[in-house]
Amino acid sequence: MSAADLQSRSAFELAELVRGGEVSAREVAEAFVSRTHEVEGSVRALVRWNAESALEQADRLDADRARGRELGPLAGVPVAIKDNLCLTGAEVTCGSQILRGYESPYDATAVARLLAADCVILGQANMDEFAMGSSCENSSYHPTCNPWDLERVPGGSSGGSAAAVAGGEVPLALGTDTGGSIRQPAALCGVVGLKPSYGRVSRWGLIAFASSLDQIGPLSIDVRDASLALGVLAGVDEKDSTSSPEPVADYVGQLEDGIDGLRVGVLSEIDEGDLDAGVLSNWRESLAHLESCGATLEAISIPSLKSAIAVYYVVANSEASANLARFDGMRYGHRSAEAESLRQLYDMSRSEGFGDEVKRRILLGTFALSSGYYEAYYGRALGVAARMKLEFEQAFGQVDLIVTPTSPTAAFRIGERVADPLAMYLSDVFTTPASLVGLPGLAVPSGFDASGLPLSLQILGRPFAENQVLRAGRAFERAAAVEPKRPEIGGRPVSTT
């Protein structure tokens, strides 16, 4: 089987081929190492990758299979891991200068479960620093480019993970989602992105941004691969008290059950005037595709949605202020060599270590938590989030699923929104609500605009109803017939590092 053929296969197909002995794990690894060498110099999706390590992992799997061990559900599948997930023996930096040189002594639970399923970790994906951003321009390493147009952003903060899948460097990647950081880059890069329900996947070993919102999930070529990955990742973890004991469904086994007869809610709060023309046209087509699958569309209302962006940025920034306080040059993180006093050590270490966007959010969060302002900002934001959760519960009394566009625009140009934080924050207008109330959300490719840029549909479900969300995504995927395509990427090959 040729390298090009292997590179075009889904994770599900690759694992079946390796388990069945039709190809070796080494052949698969070599194919994706070759592809990464070919395109990484242009896309810049990864901050670290090691061909030798990937081939060694593959050789071990082939040796295990030769000895008679039945390989796991991700047998030989190359995977990229976002740079905020701990990986034994690897530098893990959250895309930040302040953590440069930190080598993790353990695996995050999500990473450990992937490895136990016999995947091959090819490398670590670029990200907005500490997962704060919607464009992957805030990394202290380099901006990542969208494989569909190298002058455009891949989205963020899991932009490296999305770009690695879209560019064919890996068929599967792990990202994290705090307010849309899996779904929005999946949308902009034309891949599938799943944010599970809060508590569905253990957060142990994830370097925290906002602990009440952060979730780990897969980015993949299609919905079946996302279902396969979730089945590996999901489940309670004694190391994470926020992980849920809710039973794990057979996501792949239920995937083809369809959505005939399901009620799908369409939010009256969606202002079509805020959508780009291509997004609006595609949104209407997407609704028609859902009806063609047998779903019934029903108008619903979540009145508090108009406050979602404001609430999200108060809650997330407040929690970030608390979580990032530990990186002070004394307990953890970069220590300034120029400081001459304790106060200077704190000031200079954090000033040198954190980028502008992280500093902005720490300042905003610290202000919201400060004496005299806590109830006015953080307390009030939590109150609105609680009301939003109640409104979603009421809406799910009427409908089974809720759909929106994933992003109000297609991918924007690199540098276009750097000087306008508000415009950048509004990229997440459709994704933040699910994060605030802990719902599962799936971004599914829904077509392309007139410029050939990917567009996406977001499907939301009740807490822990990922099986239903994935079924709907699979049905929509078939109805919309958006064939997974590989963008043409010109550029410069790179050497492995």
Q: Given 10, 24, 82, 244, which residue is catalytic?
A: 82
Residue in the structure block whose two tokens are 């060694």? 56
Query: What is the dihedral sign for C-alpha 456, 170, 358, 153?
Result: negative
Q: Which of 96, 135, 139, 157 is catalytic?
A: 157
- Residue 422 pairs with which residues in a beta bridge? none
Cis bond upstream, residue 139 (ω within 30): no
User: Would you give the distance in Å from CA 306 to the centre of its chain?
Assistant: 24
Contact 155, 411 (CB under 8 A): yes
Write out the H or E segment, with its range, that includes residue 284: helix 277-292
Tokens of 19: 């388990």
Buried b (16+ CB within 10 A) or exposed e, 284-323: eebbebbeebebeeeebebebbebbbebbbbbbbbbbbeb
139 is catalytic: no
In the annotation, is 82 catalytic?
yes
- Dihedral sign for Cα atoms in the order 144, 205, 165, 125: positive
Point out the catalytic residue in the list 134, 139, 158, 181: 181
User: Catalytic: 96?
Assistant: no
> 80 has which bridge partners?
123, 173
Phi, psi of 120 (to 5 degrees): -120, 120
Beta strands in 148-214 (DSSP E): 172-177, 192-195
Pairing outcome for strands 454-461 and 215-220? unpaired
Q: How far is Cα 241 from Cα 107, in angstroms, rounded to an integer?
A: 17
Two tokens, residue 471: 């079924």
Which residues are known to be catalytic? Answer: 82, 157, 181
